[in-house]
A and B are shown apart, each in its own frame.
Chain A
Amino acid sequence: MRAPSFNLLSWLIAIAALLALPWLVTSDYYVNIASQVVIAAILALSLNLLIGFGGMISLGHAAYLGVAAYLSIYLTAHAGFGHLAGALIAIGATTVLAMLFGYLALRASGLGFLMITLALGQILWGVAYRWASLTGGDNGLGGLKRPHPFGLNLMDPAIFYYFALAFFGIALWCIARFVQSALGQSLQGTRDQPRRMRALGYNVWLIQWLSFVFAGFWGSVAGLLYAYYHQFVSPQTLHLTTSAETLLMVIAGGTGTLLGPVVGAALVVILKNVVSAYITRWLILLGVIFVVIVLFMPEGLVPGITRWVRSLRSRPRADKAADTPSIAKDSAR
């Protein structure tokens, strides 16, 4: 699978738009939503490594978001650690957790993998709920003050947005490099032809495990930003619904493309914020979206709509629609 090949100009426009956003939207409310989108996008990018590039459908990706958030808040606000130490330990420990969970989940494949990730994630949710002395139980854990790295006042919504955007940029860059690297290309090979990959000398299990850990790492970075943004975390963050929302971002934007999950994250976060302003039944809507996407747009919202638009535009040459040499040619070298 290839990322759509953007030329330099469209990249520059996109970057300029992202940087100018706090001036374009004047209200703090919208800047904050932009911050949420950026954080969600990091999480969705990392999940897409597993789903889109690895073919491993995880329903427990909220684990890394939630655990990193819990750990960073607990360490800095309740255990007396400094911000930097708290952040590093939180990310490190969550990555170690991803190593363990990856090992367990990769004992199976396909539906078994999905079941194990879901079970592990939900057990963590139960832990957060019941280990109240540590996690605050249902009330959640708060008390975190946003740090002041390099003298930046992260309480200012625009500055926080840039802070999160910087992390997003680094995440996108690293993940883009990973996808084009030998390891990332091998991961896509294991998705398409695991048996052939083994015969070619690849340790399929190791490739999948390394990718799982890499995805867990970026999930934990998202979790750290989540903690800074909300200054609060509750069991809901670890719940299956969070994993499902992230999965929705990935499949809505189209799996296996680099930027699809970013679009998906924007769609889901904005939709959730808009809907929540009018009704309280977000979960029903989430469920309905899942059912509708699966039944009517199995390839994802964005690719589905794109294909639909493209087929409208190229109707005069409809016979060529199935042929895709133009995308096919540019990628190899």
Chain B
Amino acid sequence: MNFWIIQGLNGLAFGSLLFILASGFSLIFGLMRIVNLSHGAYFMLGAYVGLSAIEAGVNFWIAILIGGGAICILGTVIERFILRRLNGQPLAQVLVTLGIAFIIADTCVWIWTGDPRPVPMPRELTGAFRVSNLAFPIYRLFVIGVAFALAAALWFLLERSRLGAMIRAGVDDLPMARAMGIRTSLLFSAVFCLGSALAGAGGVLAGPILSVYPGLDSDMLPLALVVVILGGVGSLLGAFVGSLIIGFIYSYGQALFPDLAYVILFLPMVLVLTLRPTGLFGRQAI
């Protein structure tokens, strides 16, 4: 019984990290039709930047801001100066983000070498939370809390704010949104900036759990893609549910059949693509 609870919490924690990454990816894809293949690299670079900040003596919480901020700036620059030039050429945009992903990944190896680097946990969150004979790391509970808070905040932003109304209009029908006078170029920058910042900050947040290593990007990017395929394009709820599903599958899979943890990931894809190609909560096919 304990095993199931602990692994369930682990899955929830991993799914939470995934949501922080995938929500931005999904928003960007849903609104701008850009498959940002740099997103995994943003996550990894954010983690490395955060790590360096911590090693330079910066407090963990500030390091999250630094990691998120750095990636936000990087993403905004890429969006403004490269992706925008390729407006209306989705394929060219994908290939550019792929190229940038390689550049970032290799630069990280260059700067931070090939060894895995653990990111130290903030002191106030070390230790375990105990209920009878169950112990669970407080930090993971904290990450779960952050993801739920983020989900709530994003929901509020999308459903209750003016910006959100514009984003939803853009996701549903971009030409129509443009015709209604929404300044889509500003909107694009805002969403890309938000998504990048989430990826970068998520990387730092993930550091104490996953540590940082070359290949973290390749590990996370396909999972984010699978989340969007499962959840549906541009759907926040889809990204949330999809992240948790993958989190659970991954966590239980790794504990029960460590060899096959990755093979099992095919399963939800086969099911969803066969039965519901729009994804669980998507309205349009991807």
Whether B262 and A290, one on each chain, are in contact in the complex, defined by CB atoms closer than 8 angstroms, is no
A114 to B286 alpha-carbon distance, docked (Å)? 10
Known: A134-B259, A240-B218. A295 touches B102 (CB 8 A): no
Say how far A251's CB is from chain B's closest CB, in angstroms: 8
Known: A119-B222, A122-B221, A244-B98. A294 touches B92 (CB 8 A): yes
| B214-261 residues at the A interface, CB under 8 angstroms | 218-219, 221-222, 225-226, 228-229, 258-261
A283 to B222 alpha-carbon distance, docked (Å)? 19
B219 contact from A126, A251, A289, A293, Cβ within 8 A:
A126
A288 to B102 alpha-carbon distance, docked (Å)? 8
Interface string of A273-292 (1 = CB under 8 A from B): 00000000101101111110
Whether A287 and B262, one on each chain, are in contact in the complex, defined by CB atoms closer than 8 angstroms, is no
**What residues of A have a CB within 8 angstroms of the CB of B273 in the complex?**
104, 107-108, 116
**What residues of B have a CB within 8 angstroms of the CB of A57 in the complex?**
91, 94
Whether A131 and B35, one on each chain, are in contact in the complex, defined by CB atoms closer than 8 angstroms, is no
Whether A131 and B260, one on each chain, are in contact in the complex, defined by CB atoms closer than 8 angstroms, is yes
Whether A241 and B102, one on each chain, are in contact in the complex, defined by CB atoms closer than 8 angstroms, is yes
Whether B262 and A126, one on each chain, are in contact in the complex, defined by CB atoms closer than 8 angstroms, is yes
A298 to B261 alpha-carbon distance, docked (Å)? 39
Known: A108-B286, A110-B90, A290-B98. A131 touches B263 (CB 8 A): yes
B153 at the binding interface (Cβ < 8 Å): no
B58 at the binding interface (Cβ < 8 Å): no
**What residues of B have a CB within 8 angstroms of the CB of A115 in the complex?**
35, 225, 228-229, 286
A130 to B264 alpha-carbon distance, docked (Å)? 12
Known: A107-B273, A283-B106, A286-B99. A122 touches B222 (CB 8 A): yes
A125 at the binding interface (Cβ < 8 Å): yes
**What residues of B have a CB within 8 angstroms of the CB of A291 in the complex?**
82, 96, 99-100, 103
Whether B269 and A119, one on each chain, are in contact in the complex, defined by CB atoms closer than 8 angstroms, is yes
| A109-141 residues at the B interface, CB under 8 angstroms | 109-112, 114-116, 118-120, 122-123, 125-127, 129-134
Residue of A nearest to B276 (CB): A107
A59 at the binding interface (Cβ < 8 Å): yes
A240 to B277 alpha-carbon distance, docked (Å)? 24
A298 to B91 alpha-carbon distance, docked (Å)? 10
A239 at the binding interface (Cβ < 8 Å): yes
| B57-115 residues at the A interface, CB under 8 angstroms | 82, 85-86, 89-92, 94-96, 98-107, 110
Residue of A nearest to B263 (CB): A127
Say how far A117's CB is from chain B's closest CB, in angstroms: 10
A241 to B107 alpha-carbon distance, docked (Å)? 15
**What residues of B have a CB within 8 angstroms of the CB of A111 in the complex?**
29, 33, 35, 90-91, 94, 286
**What residues of B have a CB within 8 angstroms of the CB of A126 in the complex?**
219, 222, 262, 265
**What residues of B have a CB within 8 angstroms of the CB of A104 in the complex?**
269-270, 273-274
B102 contact from A109, A118, A134, A286, Cβ within 8 A:
A286
Most buried by B among A111, A118, A130, A251: A111
**What residues of A have a CB within 8 angstroms of the CB of B229 in the complex?**
112, 115-116, 119
**What residues of B have a CB within 8 angstroms of the CB of A132 in the complex?**
259
B3 at the binding interface (Cβ < 8 Å): no
Interface string of B39-56 (1 = CB under 8 A from A): 000000000000000000
B285 at the binding interface (Cβ < 8 Å): yes
**What residues of B have a CB within 8 angstroms of the CB of A283 in the complex?**
102-103, 105-106
B4 at the binding interface (Cβ < 8 Å): no
Whether B218 and A281, one on each chain, are in contact in the complex, defined by CB atoms closer than 8 angstroms, is no
Residue of B nearest to A117 (CB): B225
Whether B105 and A123, one on each chain, are in contact in the complex, defined by CB atoms closer than 8 angstroms, is no
Whether A284 and B102, one on each chain, are in contact in the complex, defined by CB atoms closer than 8 angstroms, is yes
Say how far A66's CB is from chain B's closest CB, in angstroms: 14
Whether B95 and A290, one on each chain, are in contact in the complex, defined by CB atoms closer than 8 angstroms, is yes
**What residues of B have a CB within 8 angstroms of the CB of A119 in the complex?**
222, 225-226, 229, 269
A291 to B274 alpha-carbon distance, docked (Å)? 35
A57 to B102 alpha-carbon distance, docked (Å)? 19
Residue of A nearest to B33 (CB): A111
**What residues of A have a CB within 8 angstroms of the CB of B100 in the complex?**
287, 291
Whether B106 and A287, one on each chain, are in contact in the complex, defined by CB atoms closer than 8 angstroms, is yes
B259 contact from A133, A247, A287, Cβ within 8 A:
A133
**What residues of A have a CB within 8 angstroms of the CB of B226 in the complex?**
119, 123
A122 to B37 alpha-carbon distance, docked (Å)? 12
Residue of A nearest to B272 (CB): A107
Residue of A nearest to B90 (CB): A111
**What residues of B have a CB within 8 angstroms of the CB of A114 in the complex?**
35, 94
Known: A122-B221, A131-B260, A244-B98. A284 touches B270 (CB 8 A): no
Say how far B90's CB is from chain A's closest CB, in angstroms: 6
**What residues of B have a CB within 8 angstroms of the CB of A112 in the complex?**
229, 285-286
**What residues of A have a CB within 8 angstroms of the CB of B94 in the complex?**
57, 111, 114
A interface residue numbers (CB < 8 A to B):
57, 59, 104, 107-112, 114-116, 118-120, 122-123, 125-127, 129-134, 239-241, 244, 247, 251, 281, 283-284, 286-291, 293-295, 298
Starting from the known contacts A122-B222, A284-B106, A286-B102, 20 additional A-B residue pairs (CB-CB under 8 Å) come to A59-B98, A108-B273, A109-B285, A111-B29, A111-B286, A112-B229, A115-B228, A116-B273, A122-B221, A125-B218, A131-B259, A283-B106, A284-B102, A284-B110, A287-B98, A287-B99, A287-B104, A290-B102, A291-B82, A294-B95
10 pairs, CB–CB < 8 Å, chain A vs chain B: A108-B273, A110-B90, A111-B35, A114-B94, A115-B228, A123-B262, A291-B82, A291-B96, A293-B95, A294-B99
